[in-house]
Structure 1
Amino acid sequence: MQVTETQNEGLKRAYKMVLTAQELDDKVMEKLKEAQPEVEMKGFRKGKVPLPLLKKQFGQRVLGEAMQEAVDGAMTQHFEDKGERPAGEPAVKMVNEEWKEGDDVEVEMSYEALPEVPEVDFKSVKIEKMVVKADDGAVDDALKNLAENAQNFEDRKKGTKAKDGDQVVIDFVGRVDGEAFEGGSAEDYPLVLGSNSFIPGFEEQLVGVKQDEEKVVTVNFPDEYQAEHLAGKEAEFTCTVKAVKAPAPAEIDDDLAQKYGSDSLDALKEQIKERLEQEYAGASRAVMKRKLLDELDKQVDFELPPSMVEAEAKQIAHQLWHDENPDVQGHDHPEVEPTEEHTKLAERRVRLGLLLAEIGQKAEVEVTDAEMTQAVMEQARQYPGQERQFFEFVQQNPQMRQQLRAPIFEDKVIDYIVELAEVNETEVTKDELEKAVEALEDE
């Protein structure tokens, strides 16, 4: 097949490819010869049907397949000879649309080539890694939070009025139109005021009650209430207050530790310390990764495929629009035009994406099946009861698999670079680390 270059501007490429009628005919005959041994036809033994008769009978069926194989083969050979990779699927169209058998086939192919990505001397890359130790103060604060979450309630002095946050122990009977209704009564029910666990307006009316007091609470069931026969109706609850209790944090001792699955308070402290330092390490890595990407972005500069930048800018603009308009769930909205800022961010993302992909390929970084399975399982947890359907969806959707694979691959490439770069560890406070993380979110 004859291939002639018609465009070579920056990364844009275009070629005219001519498949002569003779080449196409030869390709058709080649395919018919391959099939000949298996063909049976009346009047001939299997495999003995003459090629001219096969061509007359099956030539038209084979023609399209032969043409497609010839074009695909020419494209593959072209990329091998040029040593280029297209940034996306090449655009291929037939020029002589009124083609008929016996004519040459003329095809135009155009694409954007992936750029040459420059080498980076990783040993010259210097990055800072923030290190935070979980001190006794942080562990004590975490223990206090655990104690508050495991709080008990202790009886208040008789005659004390119930406050928001107190627990009242009540017997109650609910009535609609003067009739008690199923599920509307209970005895010795412990209700924390302000917990919003009852119908809206119920708990507020019990603020100020005392032990042994009887209180009639009047509320309206919401219009969307799950029990249709009660939805939107007014109800009266006769409540007898049997106790008023104040919240009291649990004691920080071995009993508290055992509530949280530890053998002793010391063991719980050690677990808390490990968990805190894991959290700090995760935050520190996020900060270090951003600094590393900033440094790489400064070190490399190369031409970017315009279509990739345009697509990324549109994606960024679209996502930010939805962030600003959270009530719009679908995509039935005016087209969002990318701004100069969106395009600038897109250029950074595309440049770094191509760079990391090149580094990963040369370093033979791979995402294992186990890592992919773990990623799918983590995503599947977001769809309780539908895990199996999610797994099947991922298996049938290459784009979804790529979305799950991409961040794993990127993190492994980052790890590879960090091993070779000059990393300076600096011990900082938790507040300093938090400020660094906040700065990332503000950018």
Structure 2
Amino acid sequence: MQVTETLNEGLKRGYTITVPAADLDATVNRKLVEAQPEVEMKGFRKGKVPMALLKKQFGQRLLGESMQESIDGALGKHFEETGDRPAMQPAIEMQNQDGWKEGDDVVVAVTYEALPTVPDVDFSGVKIEKLTVEPAEADIQEALEGLAKNAQVFVTKKGKAANGDQVVFDFLGKVDGEPFEGGAAEDYPLVLGSNSFIPGFEDQLVGVKADEEKNVEVSFPEDYQAEHLAGKAAIFECKIKEVKKPGEAKIDDDMAKQFGAESLDALKGQIKERLVSEYDGAARQIVKRQLLDQLDGLVTFDLPPSLVEAEAQQIAHQLWHEEHPEVQGHDHEKVEPTEEHNKLAARRVRLGLLLAELGQKEKVEVSDAEMTQAIMTQARQYPGQEREFFQFIQQNQQAQQQLRAPLFEDKVIDLILDRAEVTEKSVSKEDLQAEVEKLEEV
């Protein structure tokens, strides 16, 4: 096998690989010899099929396999010897001008862009200011007041029920004059306008008063889940016990219990923990931007054009869809990246390669436990479909990489922060938010 260099400009590489016909034939014969003991064919005992017949039957398929193995082997050996790492999948093209036929040497052209050599970086000069915010009592009180507004509390009212009010009533449903299973309840609280009952039911309770009796006449939808009731007319005999209007919850232990806390003090503690987590997350964004900005100016090296082009295209495509949210899928002309997109893409590729190189040198790894936690966090976004999401991730290498990449990046950033000079500055919640908004403007 012969490998000849044809291109070496910057990060661009080109090679011609020649696989002699004799080498291919030898590989095919070796595969046939290895397979012969297990081959069964009509008219022959197992393992006794003649080699000539085997070659006639399986030779073409094995020839294709042997070609691919030979080329892959040559590339693997080449990368091992040169230390090159292709930025993207190498392009391989058959070079036999008149078409290849059995007995010919195989000649292919291989082109790729090599990943650059990333220089070592001295992080001792990196200076980071971390903003810290201590949740104030006013912030906790503001959050409590927000919860009180969202808490669904109803207080007794006089007069007629209106949309948004809660009606507490007993009801008995009948179809063809006979009660049906699941059609009765006592002291049932129904918020009018919530659309929690079948269509038309709640509308007929608007205007009722406490101690009033009313028959509600409705028809079950044709696609109702209970087939024996689907499309049937029904009468619900209703006895109104109480009419309530929405009220504002008192900030006390009872309200806290609505939100799963044992007491008001426990709820305050939960709110404080949540605020600390939110503030820390925002501060982390700012620290990360500071660090990346400084790293971007610390080193320069050649970037693979194909990676920059692909990243710029992705940026342009994403921003286009953000500006045109009404367009679904890819039913549009190709979006051409601007100079600004190319500049941002170059920054992202440079920093990505730098962080990847440092992580590799420092043997940074994302553990199985960390991946499982990330998958569980993502799965919560699909309530009721968590199992399907887990299965999708397990079967999709690309999806796994999309989850693994930010975890890996964060671990590398933590590694750099350990070596950088980090100072803390206490600021207000408003100051922190202002810094976050600056990030969003960039």
- TM-score over 0.5 for the pair: yes
SS at match of 1:425: strand
Instruction: Report the CA distance between 1:281 and its aligned residue.
Output: 0.9
Change (3 A) 1:202 1:327: farther
* Paired residue type of 1:82: T
Q: Which residue of 2 aligns with 1:179?
A: none
Residue 334 (str. 1) matches residue 333 (str. 2): yes
Q: Which residue of 2 aligns with 1:13?
A: 13
- C-alpha distance in 2, partners of 1:32/1:187? 79
Unpaired runs of at least 5, structure 2? 172-179, 214-222, 227-237
Q: Which residue of 2 aligns with 1:85?
A: 85
Deviation per residue, 1:151-171 (Å, 9 max, x gap): 644456x68x99997767799
* Paired residue type of 1:260: F
Instruction: Report the CA distance between 1:380 and its aligned residue.
Output: 2.9
Change (3 A) 1:147 1:384: closer
- C-alpha distance in 2, partners of 1:167/1:58? 78
- C-alpha distance in 1, partners of 2:239/2:439? 54
SS at match of 2:13: strand
- C-alpha distance in 2, partners of 1:54/1:213? 92
- C-alpha distance in 2, partners of 1:119/1:283? 30
Deviation per residue, 1:315-368 (Å, 9 max, x gap): 111111221222222212222111112111111111111111111111111112
Unpaired runs of at least 5, structure 1? 173-181, 215-223, 228-238
- C-alpha distance in 2, partners of 1:39/1:395? 34
- C-alpha distance in 1, partners of 2:168/2:35? 90
Q: Which residue of 1 aligns with 2:417?
A: 418
Deviation per residue, 1:353-412 (Å, 9 max, x gap): 111111111111111222222222333333334333333322222111211211221222
Q: Is the 8 A contact 2:28 2:62 kept in 1?
A: yes
* Paired residue type of 1:94: M
* Paired residue type of 2:357: E
Instruction: Report the CA distance between 1:59 and its aligned residue.
Output: 5.4
Q: Structure 2 matches for 1:223-234, cutoff 5 A?
A: none
- C-alpha distance in 2, partners of 1:196/1:400? 38
SS at match of 2:110: strand
SS at match of 2:297: helix
Q: Which residue of 2 aligns with 1:144?
A: 145
Residue 376 (str. 1) matches residue 364 (str. 2): no
Deviation per residue, 1:230-269 (Å, 9 max, x gap): xxxxxxxxx9998775654333333333333333333322
Deviation per residue, 1:183-210 (Å, 9 max, x gap): 9999988676897989999999999999
- C-alpha distance in 1, partners of 2:12/2:135? 54
SS at match of 1:93: strand
- C-alpha distance in 2, partners of 1:385/1:151? 25
Q: Structure 2 matches for 1:3-402, cutoff 5 A?
A: 3-29=3-29, 31=30, 35=34, 38=37, 60-97=60-97, 98-150=99-151, 152-155=153-156, 247-402=246-401
Change (3 A) 1:119 1:256: same
Q: Is the 8 A contact 2:37 2:48 kept in 1?
A: no
SS at match of 2:277: helix
* Paired residue type of 1:106: V
Change (3 A) 1:324 1:41: closer
SS at match of 1:261: coil
Change (3 A) 1:3 1:330: same
Scaled by the length of structure 2, the TM-score of the pair is 0.78
Q: Is the 8 A contact 2:153 2:246 kept in 1?
A: yes
- C-alpha distance in 2, partners of 1:13/1:367? 32
- C-alpha distance in 2, partners of 1:359/1:55? 51
Q: Is the 8 A contact 2:24 2:66 kept in 1?
A: yes
- C-alpha distance in 2, partners of 1:433/1:249? 31
- C-alpha distance in 2, partners of 1:342/1:388? 38
- C-alpha distance in 2, partners of 1:146/1:116? 54
SS at match of 2:411: helix
Q: Which residue of 2 aligns with 1:176?
A: none
* Paired residue type of 1:325: H
Q: Is the 8 A contact 1:129 1:288 kept in 2?
A: yes
* Paired residue type of 1:324: E
Change (3 A) 1:108 1:207: same
Deviation per residue, 1:69-93 (Å, 9 max, x gap): 2221111111111111000111111
Q: Which residue of 2 aligns with 1:403?
A: 402
- C-alpha distance in 1, partners of 2:185/2:378? 41
Q: Is the 8 A contact 1:3 1:18 kept in 2?
A: yes
- C-alpha distance in 2, partners of 1:201/1:120? 70
Bigger mean CA offset, 202-211 vs 121-130:
202-211
Q: Is the 8 A contact 1:21 1:103 kept in 2?
A: yes
Bigger mean CA offset, 193-202 vs 342-351:
193-202
* Paired residue type of 1:65: E
Q: Is the 8 A contact 1:169 1:242 kept in 2?
A: yes
Deviation per residue, 1:45-96 (Å, 9 max, x gap): 9989998897788655543333322221111111111111000111111211
Q: Which residue of 2 aligns with 1:441?
A: 440
Bigger mean CA offset, 274-283 vs 383-392:
383-392
Indicate the percent of aligned positions where both proteins have the same amino acid. 65
- C-alpha distance in 2, partners of 1:194/1:48? 81
- C-alpha distance in 2, partners of 1:16/1:141? 70
- C-alpha distance in 2, partners of 1:201/1:399? 49
- C-alpha distance in 2, partners of 1:106/1:265? 77
* Paired residue type of 2:329: G
Bigger mean CA offset, 19-28 vs 68-77:
19-28
Q: Is the 8 A contact 2:316 2:337 kept in 1?
A: yes
Instruction: Report the CA distance between 1:109 and its aligned residue.
Output: 0.6
Change (3 A) 1:73 1:205: same
Instruction: Report the CA distance between 1:146 and its aligned residue.
Output: 2.5
Scaled by the length of structure 1, the TM-score of the pair is 0.78
* Paired residue type of 2:377: E
- C-alpha distance in 2, partners of 1:58/1:348? 51
Q: Which residue of 2 aligns with 1:175?
A: none
